[in-house]
Structure 1
Amino acid sequence: HNLLKPSGDGTCSHYLRAARAGNLEKALDYLKNGVDINISNQNGLNALHLASKEGHVEVVSELIQRGASVDAATKKGNTALHIASLAGQAEVVKVLVTNRANVNAQSQNGFTPLYMAAQENHLEVVKFLLDNGASQSLSTEDGFTPLAVALQQGHDQVVSLLLENDTKGKVRLPALHIAARKDDTKAAALLLQNDHNADVESKSGFTPLHIAAHYGNINVATLLLNRGAAVDFTARNDITPLHVASKRGNANMVKLLLDRGAKIDAKTRVSSSLSAGSDCVELLPLTCVLL
């Protein structure tokens, strides 16, 4: 039951506890007495991981200076940067990246630090990682990119940030997606007029209708549907525009999609209920609410 039971003796577990508590003096005492700086518990968590999770910047800096392995991974393949990103410890993230932590390290399930920060809505961490070379195109073993998880979770600002980065970075977002995001029906209509595919997919597998559904952009959504966009287009992980609109609690968009024949029983591969937590449940049949 004790997470901090180390691979070695009691001294090591005290050392790990000191790091987790942010007690630098104590941690350094153990190191002076010959404890291995990279010793870990049975889950593979070491002092750097534990200090990173708790946001102890000073301890993290000191451990790295004294030779702690910056990219050492836990049994699940998580590095200190994964752990700090998941916990939203922005200052620790900066220290780790400055000390050459691998920003695109993938855990056993394919999670990157950017994915973890996007999933948990840690805007500052997402921005910093993007500015320091984090890739948006790396996906988890079940096909989720950072954009996919941010859309699924309804993290609006993170979605905006990722899309902005998508357009300026190497991951070029299709023009129709940008028009959908801005609710720019004129641009969208011009693009569609030029035989632009209404269901063009971004690198993350989303169509312009997914983007319009996320932002609640009814005008461009209506235009896309009128021009033949698939109302139930399933992105990776089987996310449909209706899932996105429901997650955002956008009643008008949900109504539009249902009116156009969206299937309400569509299941995503990760979560089965379409809309139980949002304000638009009354638009969906009772069975859906009880899922």
Structure 2
Amino acid sequence: MDFTELYADSVSSVAVAARSGCRRRLRRLMKRGFSVDRRDNRGWNALHEAAAAGSTECVQEILSAAAGAGSSRGRAADVNSLTHEGESAAHLAAQRGHLAALRLLLEANANVNQLTNDLSCPLYAAVDGGHREVVELLLSKGAAANRTHTASCWTCLHQAVYKGHSDIVRVLVDVCDLEALDDHKISPLFVAAQYGQQECLEILVGAGANVSAQAADLASPLLIASQEGHGACVDFLLDHGADPNLDCSLEWPQLPIHAAAEFGHIGVLRRLIAVTDRACDRAEDMVSPLYLAVVSRQSRSVEMLLREGYSPDAQVCSHLQGVKSPLSLALSLTSNEPCSESVGLLVTAGARLGEEDWIHAIATDKTDLLTLILEHRWIPRQETLTRDGFVQNRNGKTFLTQQELRELLCVALNQVRFAACWLPLLLNAGLEPSLLLQPQMLQRADSEVLNYLLEFVNWSILSPPLKHILDQRRAAKTWEPRPHLDSIPLLSHLCRMQVRSVLGPDQLMRTDVVQQLPVPSPLHVFLRFRDIPQAIYTPSPPSPPL
């Protein structure tokens, strides 16, 4: 039932007069014997109506009539009568900020701490409504300042802070428990940080509230302010002793910087980067904020963290996130989509490429990831291979490490069915083709893929076992060589192979060094192997149903 709707047959004439603030009419009706105690469908009587309307004169008239009708006990019972929602006249007056009417009710012995059905009281109602003078009056009359008034156990101070009533907060900090906790152990200061009530936050801190009081789940005011992006509150908390390295989670070592990175609050993230211990970046028992930025697809957070020196590899977090690196996580989130911006940022920053990452790049007919990798990572010559670190070339880009190259080749040779997609990219990026002259490549590659690979080598000097594989495939008609592959390579082909060897495949294929050679321009295409037709990827036919 909607108790806010009034019905003509249930609202007394006296109540209507009280609601309208018509004292003369109210007095006339009362003299004619109309009862002030008759209730409507909400349980409201004339005093409730007068108090809610702020009609001081009508409140006075009703209270005077009650005082003259019987004992003080009867008068008190009348002034404290409740609606169906448990609201007293004093509660209704306080809720609406009617100071004069409330003062009359309190002088008539209204219960200053009467609770409603939902655990509110006159003080809580006045706080919620932002009525400072009413709050001061109630406190002066003995209103309990530290009782809880909601199912969540909020106090008046919690509510004042939540609503941002800073003038009331100034009043309450002198009488309220600054560290009062709700059912989640959240303090009023935590509420101020959560909802960005900076002025209230400053008042509470000035009154001595604990800036690092943690909730039941260990979340701190600094963490929640960082999560919500309240930069001014973050700055204030840090300036007044909040610890940016305080562990704020029961499940894993979460810091405020993680929350800022996860929700993309760049200004807050910038401030926290400057004060957070870098142990969170690489320590084994920590989690890099890069993981949170990646999983929430906050590319701006990823970019800032990398720019400020956070490692693109971070620590292995398989026990928490189920992944080995930020790049692996980013790729797992976009396995069926084009490369995300975060993937590009991590690759550009030199993230180490593992076997799982190469699978994402090569075990597919899509070449965007492999193209991206090869734009930022160079395939090294044999003499520049390193086991662990990166070697910088003259363009400032990094070479693949020996381990990365080994894992690339391993994945490539296990994904021969996609070779039409990845082979041209790798060879044109400077991969030594002899590294792919392996039995499994020659046995499983499509005919045109095999022809393309052979164009990059001296096919006449292949080892006997490899020649045997080719002979078997030719006999089985699974390989149809191009006509010239049956003869000895032309001198021109041998010459360009020598040029490739001398200059280095990386320089030949990926720079303008060829254009600088003193040879006719038509030879530029030939020297860079651009005249060789590429194979076209043909999807495998679907397997027949079982």
Distance 1:146 1:219 in 2: 17
Give the structure with higher Rg (CA): 2
Q: CA deviation at 1:282?
A: 8.2
User: Is it true that 1:145 corresponds to 2:155 in the alignment?
Assistant: yes
Decide whether the 8 Å contact of 2:229 with 2:268 is kept in 1: no
User: Is it true that 1:252 corresponds to 2:232 in the alignment?
Assistant: yes
Correspondence for 1:105: 114
Decide whether the 8 Å contact of 1:151 with 1:244 is kept in 2: no
* Structure having greater relative contact order (Cα 8 Å, sep ≥ 6): 1
Correspondence for 1:75: 84
Distance 2:266 2:163 in 1: 17
Decide whether the 8 Å contact of 2:158 with 2:188 is kept in 1: no
Q: For 1:70-219, what aligned pairs fall within 5 Å after superposition?
A: 70-142=79-151, 143-166=153-176, 173=177, 201-202=179-180, 207=187, 210=190, 213=193, 214-216=200-202
Correspondence for 2:6: 4
Matched to 1:131, the amino acid is: S
Distance 2:223 2:171 in 1: 21
Distance 1:161 1:124 in 2: 10
Q: What's the TM-score, normalizing by structure 1?
A: 0.65
Say how many residue pairs are matched: 229
Q: What's the TM-score, normalizing by structure 2?
A: 0.36
Give a deviation string over 1:27-48, Cα, whole Å, max 9, x none.
1222222221111110011111
Distance 1:258 1:44 in 2: 52
Alpha-carbon distance change, 76 to 252 in structure 1, aligned in 2, over 3 angstroms: same
Q: Which moves more between the two structures, 78-87 or 44-53? A: 44-53
Alpha-carbon distance change, 217 to 30 in structure 1, aligned in 2, over 3 angstroms: closer
Give a deviation string over 1:165-188, Cα, whole Å, max 9, x none.
23xxxxxx4xxx5xxxxxxxxxxx
Correspondence for 2:24: 25
Give a deviation string over 1:133-172, Cα, whole Å, max 9, x none.
0001222241121111111111111111111123xxxxxx
Q: Which moves more between the two structures, 91-100 or 65-74? A: 65-74
Alpha-carbon distance change, 218 to 43 in structure 1, aligned in 2, over 3 angstroms: closer
> What is the SS of the residue equivalent to 1:105?
coil
Matched to 1:158, the amino acid is: I
Decide whether the 8 Å contact of 2:18 with 2:50 is kept in 1: yes
Distance 1:5 1:218 in 2: 47
Correspondence for 1:233: 215
Q: CA deviation at 1:254?
A: 3.6
User: Over aligned residues, Cα RMSD in angstroms?
Assistant: 4.1
Mark the runs of 5 or more structure 1 residues left unpaired by the alignment: 167-172, 178-200, 266-279
Matched to 1:38, the amino acid is: D
Alpha-carbon distance change, 112 to 243 in structure 1, aligned in 2, over 3 angstroms: farther
Distance 1:244 1:282 in 2: 15
Decide whether the 8 Å contact of 1:52 with 1:83 is kept in 2: yes
Mark the runs of 5 or more structure 2 residues left unpaired by the alignment: 67-74, 194-199, 246-254, 270-292, 298-546
Decide whether the 8 Å contact of 1:3 with 1:41 is kept in 2: no
Distance 1:45 1:218 in 2: 39
Distance 2:125 2:86 in 1: 13
Distance 1:219 1:123 in 2: 21
